[in-house]
Amino acid sequence: MSIIVSAIGQGLTWGIVGIGLFLTFRILDFPDMTVEGTFPMGAAACVAAIYHGFSPLTATIIAFAVGMLAGFVTGILYTKGHIPVLLAGILVMTAAYSVNFRIMNRANLSLYGKPSMLKNSFLESLPPYFDSVTLGLIFVTVVTVLIIYFLQTNLGQAFIATGDNPTMARSLGISTDGMQIMGLSVSNGLIALGGALVAQNNGFADVNSGIGVIVVALASIIIGEVIFGDLTMNERLIAVTIGSILYRFVILIVLKLGFNANDLNLISAIVLALFMMFPVFEKRFRLRHTFTRGLSSHD
């Protein structure tokens, strides 16, 4: 039971990372690799800030700001420097590795004996793992609500239009450069926020924790899309978090089968590949048709 609760807690926290990636990957249609650098950057910044005596909440907000800064740099390289967005992201990701070392002065830093947002009397009074579920739920809800509100504003609509058709957006006077920089900044801010929360959950930050982040976040997005199909924008944002939780269940099952934690990146990649190929399988084997027929009564 507790293992399932733990998976839900992780799924909720990683849902924030998925929503961050959704902004660039789905709305702007950008393959942004920066995230593999900003996730550990958020973790490093948060833990280092706690070491420097900042409150855990302030440290988490600092992590968000630091992530935004990294995304901002990618945005500038892409829009003003005319470096392809994939390469711009890889550059910042690579640079971030060194920066993260500088932030912590070492490869990993434990929060043992230090405060964290999980260490308060209310969360500690909950049954095991419900603390991370509660914290994850609060953050993912706030983030989802804010993003949904933002996307319904005039600025948010201009942001969506930029990803949908940049030529048209420019012809309506929308600064597509500005929108892209903003999207990359907010997206990476959210991913760093996710990194900060995961670090507090795990009790440490590690410079190598970025590897595979893009695959895990993408898996959340794709699983949500494959399972729920056609949705409105708001529903799709919620589906990301549900996809993130389902992904954790898949990992849980795979681990039960006897794989160990070091196999996780291989498994994550396979899970994502399978879900991304779902439309191909569906066409070939008429999967959805078979499922719906199997679920409906015979007539």
Partner 1 sequence: MTEPIFELRDVVVTVNQGTPEEINIMDHVNFAIYPGDFITILGSNGAGKSTLFNVVGGNIHVTSGQILLHGKDITNMSVERRTHFLSRVFQDPKMGTAPRMTVAENLLLSMKRGQRRGFGPRHLKQNMGKFKEITAVMNNGLEERLNTATGKLSGGQRQALSFLMATIKRPEILLLDEHTAALDPQTSQELMNATNDQITRNHLTCLMITHHLDDALKYGNRLIVLDNGKITYDIAGDEKDNLTKEELLSFFNEIEE
Piece of the chain touching partner 1 by CB under 8 A; list 146-154, 180-188, 203-211, 264-272: 146-154
The binder of partner 1 chosen from 55, 120, 153, 290 (CB under 8 A): 153
Piece of the chain touching partner 1 by CB under 8 A; list 41-49, 145-153, 272-280, 290-298: 145-153
Partnered with residue 108 across adjacent β-strands are: 206
- Measured between alpha carbons, how far is 195 from 200 in angstroms, rounded to an integer? 9
DSSP 206: E
Q: Residue 113 CB: number of other CB atoms within 10 A?
A: 6
Q: At 257, list the tokens.
A: 């089968």
156 in contact with partner 1 (CB under 8 A): yes
CB under 8 Å to 214, separation ≥6 — which residues? 21, 33, 35, 36
The pairing of beta strand 204-206 with beta strand 108-110: antiparallel
Specify the residue, 158 or 240, whose C-beta has the smaller distance to partner 1: 158
| Contact predicate 20/194, CB 8 Å | yes
Grouping H, G, I as helix, E, B as strand and the rest as coil, residue 174 is coil
The binder of partner 1 chosen from 97, 101, 150, 278 (CB under 8 A): 150
Specify the residue, 27 or 103, whose C-beta has the smaller distance to partner 1: 27
Cα dihedral across residues 82, 87, 93, 97: positive or negative: negative
Least distance CB 166 / partner 1 (angstroms): 10
Least distance CB 81 / partner 1 (angstroms): 18
Least distance CB 289 / partner 1 (angstroms): 22
Map the footprint of partner 1 across residues 157-176, applying CB under 8 A: 157-158, 160-161, 164-165, 167-175
Least distance CB 79 / partner 1 (angstroms): 13
The binder of partner 1 chosen from 155, 211, 227, 273 (CB under 8 A): 155
Q: What is the per-residue DSSP string for 17-73?
A: HHHHHHIIIIII----TTHHHHHHHHHHHHHHHHHTT--HHHHHHHHHHHHHHHHHH
Piece of the chain touching partner 1 by CB under 8 A; list 11-19, 89-97, 134-142, 149-157: 149-157
Least distance CB 90 / partner 1 (angstroms): 27
Which residues form the interface with partner 1 (CB under 8 A)? Answer: 150, 152-158, 160-161, 164-165, 167-175
